[in-house]
Chain A
Amino acid sequence: DTEVTQTPKHLVMGMTNKKSLKCEQHMGHRAMYWYKQKAKKPPELMFVYSYEKLSINESVPSRFSPECPNSSLLNLHLHALQPEDSALYLCASSQVSGQSSYEQYFGPGTRLTVT
């Protein structure tokens, strides 16, 4: 099973709202990622969690707040977003073993629209 699930599939929120994106995997992966993808652009890394600890924050604005409650779950809390934050938000997971690299498996994404 190489499935990563994300909810919701679509989200429309106002600039004053607070919402959360959720991601779940049951592959036993201990690294999880958030990427942001704008139309006709490649995915861009936002955050990396390794063994439930934040290991990379790509200078993401504080209106995006990640959380990794356990090894299977990854959340992205959203608050006071701007219209330019509208994008496809992708979650991914991968194995972790020393400094080795492994393929990442992506979820279907959450299409976020900020009005």
Chain B
Amino acid sequence: DQQVKQNSPSLSVQEGRISILNCDYTNSMFDYFLWYKKYPAEGPTFLISISSIKDKNEDGRFTVFLNKSAKHLSLHIVPSQPGDSAVYFCAASGTGRRALTFGSGTRLQVQP
């Protein structure tokens, strides 16, 4: 049973436009959500996180939105750049369990 789902395996956007990556979760015990960026044959790089007590967190071009009632979060990248092309993983953890459950990833391609 997938507790963290990324239903879009891939996304293509033009340089300078907004990229929106989506993630859904089913486990109500999750209270901390993270986005990671990953290049092939490298470890995931932490991008941004959000606690369940917030509904928005912003860091430069990256903003994460959390909708707890819908059990949905999204990552907005504005403006998108070709260097943003990578696989993006959504991850979640819950109180008392210091481990991440990852979604299946979304491959983002930013076209110049």
The reply to whether B102 and A96 contact each other, CB–CB distance below 8 Å, is: no
Number of interface residues of B (CB under 8 A): 26
If over half of B's interface residues share one DSSP class (helix, strand or loop), that class is named, otherwise mixed; here it is strand
The reply to whether B104 and A94 contact each other, CB–CB distance below 8 Å, is: no
**Chain B residues with CB under 8 A of A109:** 41-43
Task: List, sorted by A's number, 14 A–B pairs whose CB atoms are closer than 8 Å.
Answer: A33-B99, A45-B101, A48-B98, A55-B98, A56-B97, A56-B98, A56-B99, A90-B43, A101-B93, A103-B49, A104-B46, A107-B43, A108-B43, A109-B43
Instruction: Report which A residues bind B (CB closer than 8 A).
Output: 2, 4, 6, 31, 33, 41-45, 48, 50, 55-56, 88, 90, 92, 94, 96, 99, 101-109, 111
Instruction: Report which B residues bind A (CB closer than 8 A).
Output: 31-32, 34, 36, 41-46, 49, 51, 89, 93-105
